[in-house]
């Protein structure tokens, strides 16, 4: 049973291009007039937009928000009687504003210029005496976030990459957090997808505004979803390393992420892999960082082996991150290049054939990967298909039987024949139809003396306006009372329980047969073995087959099922439709054509076919 608690912050978000110009209005909306502007050179556009609203400036924000730096900023704030905080920059500037808000209760406006995402979380990390502690408090969540894509276009590629992977870390952690919830999950997956497509484009063209837009939205989503759940192992380790050894924030997140992911729940990582478009999430992120030129080891960030030994927990994981080795692959190999090569090989010929083959390749490769198919399993499948072909012939079509029992025939039937709701429902052809059955006169007994309960069929064929359709060809076939078709009984002399009729001027035809019985499909071949292997019964509900054709009309292939018969709700070829279940009532007394039988049944039905 699903159970979760979800809460989100009250932040107002202004997103777009040139939105820094709205800062005066946003300050006024907070009821403020004296701004402490936090940020360095990247804060200049905000400084110009705010103008006389800036009461003071502080450009000394540093990583990990040391409490002594917060103290200095607090003094500036009080000296100038600031009543609002505007932070422009990355996690350092925004973290300092959060620390000041926690101490003063002043409203904040965050203007991010990186993809850190901390502006969207009610979380503050602070360092003192070489230790970093985390505060989670709604008071530190900015009241307003102004995202201006223009302020990120000149963000250096290396910082774009590491802050983007930092944002991805927020999203990934939200998926495996104990507080994970459906809303945060969707935000996280969207953020991962956006970053996976945006970061390579930014690395290729830093001025790609569409990619910058994607990355900034992803940072907001990632921060928002992390803000609604509990933080986990990734942030715990990042805070320990950052606070104790002063490692750069986003770079540390970038190095740690693949290795933490390798230690996480496979189910969560499967979703990350799908969002990234890779087969294995930890190695997929590692490969992405390498491709983007990002850092891959704690050693290159300045952490020494002696430093590493001072960390008490998770030594194996941290050793991997320190060495920077590619994580052990926990998922499947990446076969995308192979699949693309095969798909691309079908590049010529008739367009529909090409499209069908290309999609078949993608579907089959995906099936093999999803199920981690072994070579033995694949060879078993090849042998199964070989035997299916070997047993097929003129009187037995095992491949149609396979298609029927897998429901493929019924799906194709629905696609082909269920788009004209005014016509009689169609049903699968089945494996025992034969071309050119003998044509018989009305009133003929197609059972030809075989045992069974006599059945009189009075059938009419009409169009969708109830007008009789004369001279329609109607092929009829069914099994005997033991469940066998004539083609399965080599001792029979000629076709039986199989015939062709033509409708008269009233669109009618009449014939004798026997009441159909339920029966098992042939179970002595590969399809029967397949059903037995999964404990599935092979039985068909009792039915009579009809194929109705006339030039100018759509051919109807269908079946009539005996109401009250066995297996109507579990027909092994999924052929039963409510509109085809009809009464075959028992009768006594004179028959319609005077035939001398005391007990018999009848079926009356009007088939409606459409022009086309």
Q: In this predicted structure, what is the pLDDT of residue 457?
A: 98
Ranges under pLDDT 70 in the chain: 1-10, 265, 330-331, 418
Give CA–CA dist 316/298, Å, rounded: 13
Give CA–CA dist 457/499, Å, rounded: 13
Contacts with 574 (C-beta within 8 Å, 6 or more apart), sequence order: 404, 407, 410, 428
Triad 317, 116, 271: Cα angle to 5°: 55
Q: What is the pLDDT of residues 122-139, one digit of tens each?
A: 889 898 887 888 888 989
Q: Please give the CATH superfamily to which domain 157-328 belongs.
A: Dehydroquinate synthase-like - alpha domain (1.20.1090.10)
In terms of DSSP H, where are the helices of 436-574? Answer: 526-533
- C-alpha closest to that of 392 among 403, 379, 376: 403
| Token duo for residue 70 | 């917060």
Contacts with 425 (C-beta within 8 Å, 6 or more apart), sequence order: 417, 418, 558, 577, 579, 580
Task: Determine the 3-state secondary structure of 71 from DSSP.
Answer: helix
Give CA–CA dist 74/56, Å, rounded: 11
Contacts with 376 (C-beta within 8 Å, 6 or more apart), sequence order: none
Q: What is the pLDDT of residues 52-91, one digit of tens each?
A: 999 999 999 998 899 999 999 999 999 999 999 999 999 8
Give CA–CA dist 36/83, Å, rounded: 8
Contacts with 131 (C-beta within 8 Å, 6 or more apart), sequence order: 243, 244
Give CA–CA dist 402/574, Å, rounded: 12
Give CA–CA dist 250/255, Å, rounded: 9
| Torsion-angle region of 324 (φ positive above 0: left; ψ -120 to 50: alpha; else: beta) | left
- φ, ψ at 556 (rounded to 5°): -110, 120
Alpha carbon of residue 530 to chain centroid: 28
Give CA–CA dist 291/27, Å, rounded: 42
CATH for the stretch 1-152:
3.40.50.1970
Burial 194-213 (b: 16+ CB within 10 A, else e): bbbbbbeebbeebebeebbb
SS (H, E, C) 277-319: CCCCHHHHHHHHHHHHCCCCCCHHHCCCHHHHHCCCCCHHHHH
- C-alpha closest to that of 240 among 327, 308, 306, 322: 308
Give CA–CA dist 494/126, Å, rounded: 92
Q: In this predicted structure, what is the pLDDT of residue 9?
A: 67
Q: Taken in order 121, 127, 133, 136, is the CA torsion positive or negative?
A: negative
| Gyration radius of the chain's alpha carbons | 37
Which architecture does CATH list for 405-609? Sandwich (2.60)
Give the Cβ contact number of residue 553 at 10 Å. Answer: 17
Give CA–CA dist 47/23, Å, rounded: 10
Give CA–CA dist 556/104, Å, rounded: 79
Burial 449-469 (b: 16+ CB within 10 A, else e): ebebbbbbbebbbbbeeeebb
Q: In this predicted structure, what is the pLDDT of residue 332?
A: 73
Q: Is-contact 222 118, C-beta < 8 A?
A: no
**Helix %, strand %, coil % for the chain, to 5?**
45, 20, 40
- φ, ψ at 443 (rounded to 5°): 90, -5
For residue 157, the surrounding DSSP H or E stretch is helix 157-176
Q: Are strands 519-520 and 539-540 parallel, antiparallel or unpaired?
A: antiparallel
Give the Cβ contact number of residue 223 at 10 Å. Answer: 29
- C-alpha closest to that of 547 among 427, 444, 467: 427
């Amino acid at each position: 049973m699903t159970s979760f608690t979800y809460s989100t912050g009250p932040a107002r978000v202004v997103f777009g291009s040139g939105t820094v110009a709205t800062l005066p209005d946003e300050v006024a909306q907070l009821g403020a007039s004296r701004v402490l502007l936090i940020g360095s050179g990247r804060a200049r556009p905000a400084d110009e937009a705010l103008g006389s609203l800036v009461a003071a400036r502080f450009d000394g924000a540093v990583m990990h928000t040391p409490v002594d730096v917060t103290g200095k900023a607090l003094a500036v704030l009080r000296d100038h009687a600031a009543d609002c905080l505007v932070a422009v920059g990355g996690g350092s500037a925004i973290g300092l504003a959060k620390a000041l808000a926690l101490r003063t209760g002043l409203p904040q406006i965050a203007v991010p210029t990186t993809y850190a995402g901390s502006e969207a979380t009610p979380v503050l990390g602070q360092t003192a005496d070489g230790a970093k502690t985390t505060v989670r408090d709604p008071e530190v969540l900015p009241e307003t976030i102004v995202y201006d894509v223009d302020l990120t276009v000149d963000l250096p590629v290396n910082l774009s990459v590491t802050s983007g992977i930092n944002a991805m870390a927020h999203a990934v952690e939200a998926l495996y957090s104990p507080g994970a919830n459906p809303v945060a999950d969707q935000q996280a997956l969207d953020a991962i997808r956006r970053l996976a497509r945006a970061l390579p484009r930014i690395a290729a063209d830093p001025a790609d505004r569409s990619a910058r837009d994607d990355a900034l939205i992803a940072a907001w989503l990632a921060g928002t979803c992390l803000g609604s759940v509990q933080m986990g192992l990734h942030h715990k380790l990042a805070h320990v390393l950052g606070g104790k050894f002063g490692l750069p924030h986003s770079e540390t997140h970038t190095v740690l992420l693949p290795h933490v992911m390798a230690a996480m729940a496979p189910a969560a990582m499967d979703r990350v892999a799908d969002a990234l478009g890779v087969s294995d999430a930890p190695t997929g992120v590692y490969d992405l960082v390498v491709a983007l030129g990002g850092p891959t080891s704690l050693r290159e960030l300045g952490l020494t082996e002696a430093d590493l030994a001072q960390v008490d927990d998770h030594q194996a994981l941290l050793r991997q991150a320190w060495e920077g080795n590619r994580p052990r692959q926990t998922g499947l190999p990446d076969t995308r290049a192979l699949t693309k090569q095969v798909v691309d090989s079908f590049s010529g010929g008739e367009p529909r054939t090409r499209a069908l083959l290309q999609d078949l390749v993608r579907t089959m490769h995906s099936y093999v990967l999803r199920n981690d198919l072994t070579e033995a399993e694949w060879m078993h499948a090849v042998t199964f298909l070989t035997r299916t072909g070997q047993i097929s012939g003129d009187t037995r079509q095992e491949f149609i039987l396979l298609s029927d029992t897998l429901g493929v025939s019924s799906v194709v039937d629905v696609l082909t024949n269920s788009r004209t709701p005014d016509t009689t429902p169609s049903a699968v052809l089945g494996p025992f139809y034969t071309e050119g059955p003998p044509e018989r006169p009305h009133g003929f007994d197609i059972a030809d003396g075989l045992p069974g309960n006599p059945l009189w069929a009075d059938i009419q064929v009409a169009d969708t306006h109830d007008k009789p359709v004369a001279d329609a060809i109607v092929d009829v076939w069914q099994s005997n009372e033991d469940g066998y078709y004539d083609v399965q009984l080599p001792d029979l002399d000629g076709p039986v329980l199989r015939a062709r009729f033509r409708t008269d001027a009233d669109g009618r035809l009449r014939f004798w047969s026997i009441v159909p019985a339920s029966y098992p499909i042939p179970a002595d071949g590969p399809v029967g073995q397949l059903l037995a292997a999964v404990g599935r019964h092979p039985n068909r509900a009792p039915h009579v087959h009809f194929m109705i054709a006339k030039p100018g009309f759509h051919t109807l292939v269908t079946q009539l099922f005996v109401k009250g018969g066995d297996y109507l709700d579990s027909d092994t070829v999924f052929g039963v439709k409510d509109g085809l279940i009809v009464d075959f009532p028992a009768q006594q007394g004179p028959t319609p054509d005077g035939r001398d039988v005391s007990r018999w049944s009848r079926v009356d039905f009007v088939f409606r076919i459409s022009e086309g």
